[in-house]
Structure 1
Amino acid sequence: MSPPPPQIVPHFEEEAYMTIHDVKWIPVSNRLAAVGSDPCNRGVIKIYSLSSKFKKEDEWIRDHPIKAATFKGSSLQDRYLAVGDLGGNVETLDIETKQKIWGLRGHEVVNCIDGAGGKNAGQYELLSGGREGNVKVWDTRINNKPVVNMEPVTAKRECWCVSFGNSRGMDRWVAAGYDNGEIKVWDLRQLNQVWETHIDNGICDIEFDRPDIEANKLTAVTLESGVHNWDCRNKWKQNKAKIKGTASTVWVGKHCPDNRDILLTGSGGGILSVWREHTDKLKLLQSQAISEQPVAALDWSPDKKGLAVAGCFDQKLRIVIITRLKTL
């Protein structure tokens, strides 16, 4: 007898009064950061806390709308927020003192950002992708140039998403997804391309199931409701699925930090979906609408199992709880 499916339980809802582009839990805390743009086309960073209530604690205005953010490029002690904005800037910010720690203009427009490093995972680095098609790796100890720049040699396509993976000691891979459905994976140690493929629709989000182990699975979500998964250890065998009954965009997909086989996706119509990644298939476990507008940003809490935050196009933040993860 199969275990009962997980449930998606809305817990809190809060007006953000801004266009939300990304949300990230602050490590080792009950707080989170939401980034985006206000009606005056300025960048906004808002800090929220979650206890018996969900409330805003602080707000920070920036010059350019912020497209993406991550805490993965710094230690748990520093907890610096790395952001990429529509002015092309890649910056590291101290959210406690509201000071810029490091930054420069690296792209025409920054579409995406990721980070890696720490215990057994090598030096802390940032990864960004831009509208001009370049994918760049940054070491914040170097002030004026990227460590590596992956630049297309033929027709340039817009890079929509990036992800670090296989971060073990000196090893590190980079995956990038483009607006034309191309996916490329590079080995930073060998400085060569490991793999590439092309699928029918633009890649909205891409992620390795675990960034700090030998590359295992790579997942991408796309326009027109596509969810794709590749086995990096088995000749890049592909599994794919679609969200039934809709052709809307799947904007974001994030693996559960407590169970790397569980994937949470956010798509048009405000739909959250919970998937299980099997060796030979993707199985939809649960799907539920939490908003009338698309879910554009998601993040699992690294400290509380089953807790997640979603940012939607209706300018609201929603705290949700995914139940029964232990039985899957």
Structure 2
Amino acid sequence: LVNVKAHRQIINSIDGIGGSNDSPVTPSLVTGSKDGSVKVWDPRQTQPAVVMEPLPDERRQDCWAVTFGCENGDVKLFDIRNFKVSWETCIKSGVCSIEFDQRYIYMNKLVVTSTASQIDVFDMRTRHPEKGFARLTTVWTGASSTAGQRTPLQPRMEMGSLSIWKYC
């Protein structure tokens, strides 16, 4: 167990991958903070492997989700191997959650929810050279895919209701 002071302000989001026997990925944790930074951690170390933060003269956006999702609606995919942004878009309202539909399959569907009760589903296998990834948008308050199954999606809607939807 490791205990470190990871950020200057509260951590809003944390996610991890790898570490299980069936995972081909090195164990990693990613944290996003109110201080505007995102850090990638090897849980065996006390210092972050990668730190991504705004330049000193840039405004620090409150990071709410760690596949980069910020209060201004920016969504960014960061290639850690090449240390560059590989794709970015703006959904126009604060990002609440970001999730790929399958944890161990390379970029299939990306589900992004926002403060405007909006859900955007990006098909990460269909990319237009000018318009970007194929995208569908509707209004919900949050969503998550179900563990171990590919197609069910659990949107969280107003008035506290929860549904299970199947998409293809």
Instruction: Give the equivalent residue in structure 1 for 2:2.
Output: 102
Residue 229 (str. 1) matches residue 128 (str. 2): no
Distance 1:276 1:133 in 2: 35
For normalisation by structure 2, the TM-score amounts to 0.86
Task: Please tell me whether residue 240 in structure 1 is matched to residue 137 in structure 2.
Answer: yes
Would you say how many aligned residue pairs link Structure 1 and Structure 2? 158
Which one of the candidate residues 254, 261, 273 is aligned to 2:151? 261
Report SS of the residue matched to 1:260: coil
Aligned residue in 2 for 1:316: none
Q: Which residue number corresponds to residue 16 of structure 2? A: 115
2:108 partner letter: N
The one of 138, 143, 146 aligned to 2:41? 138
**1:208 partnered with 2:112:** no
Deviation string 1:88-112 (CA, Å, 9 cap, x unpaired) is: xxxxxxxxxxxxx112111111001
Secondary structure class of the residue paired with 1:269: helix
For residues 135 and 232 of structure 1, the distance between their equivalents in structure 2, rounded to whole angstroms, comes to 22
After superposition, where does 1:185-200 map in structure 2 within 5 Å?
185-200=77-92
What letter is aligned with 1:220? V
Give, in angstroms, the shift of residue 267 of structure 1. Answer: 3.7
Task: Decide which of 62, 65, 77 is 1:158's aligned counterpart.
Answer: 62
Distance in 2 (alpha carbons) for counterparts of 1:181 and 1:277? 25
Tell me the distance in 2 between the aligned counterparts of 1:211 and 1:135. Answer: 20
Aligned to 2:26, what secondary structure does the other structure show? strand
Structure 1: distance between partners of 2:105 and 2:25: 12
Alpha-carbon distance, 1:274 to partner? 2.5
Deviation at 1:155? Answer: 2.0
Q: Which residue of 2 aligns with 1:149?
A: 51
1:156, 1:213 → 2: CA distance?
32
Match of 1:309 in 2: none
Question: Pairwise mapping of residues 1-328 of structure 1 onto structure 2 (< 5 A)?
Answer: 101-107=1-7, 108-117=9-18, 118=20, 119-143=22-46, 145-153=47-55, 154-162=58-66, 175-235=67-127, 236-243=133-140, 250=141, 252-278=142-168
Deviations 1:253-288 (A, max 9, x none): 21012332221122442121333334xxxxxxxxxx
Letter in 1 for 2:80: L
Larger Rg computed on CA atoms: 1
Which runs of no fewer than 5 residues in structure 1 stay unpaired?
1-100, 163-174, 244-249, 279-328
The alpha carbon displacement at 1:182 in A equals 0.7
C-alpha distance in 1 between matches for 2:24 and 2:53: 25
AA of the residue aligned to 1:113: I
Higher relative contact order (CA closer than 8 Å, sequence separation 6+): 1
- Cα distance in 1 for partners of 2:35, 2:155 equals 27
Structure 1 or 2: more strand by fraction: 1
Q: TM-score, normalised by structure 1?
A: 0.46
Which has the higher mean CA deviation after the structures are superposed, 119-128 or 206-215? 119-128
Task: Quote how far apart the aligned CAs of 1:231 are.
Answer: 1.0
Equivalent position SS for 2:159 = helix
What is the alpha-carbon distance in structure 1 between the residues aligned to residue 59 and residue 24 of structure 2?
Answer: 34
Output the aligned Cα RMSD: 1.6
2:130 counterpart residue number = none
In the TM superposition, what is the alpha-carbon distance from 1:113 to its structure 2 partner? Answer: 0.6
Deviations 1:211-251 (A, max 9, x none): 211111110111222011101111111111124xxxxxx1x
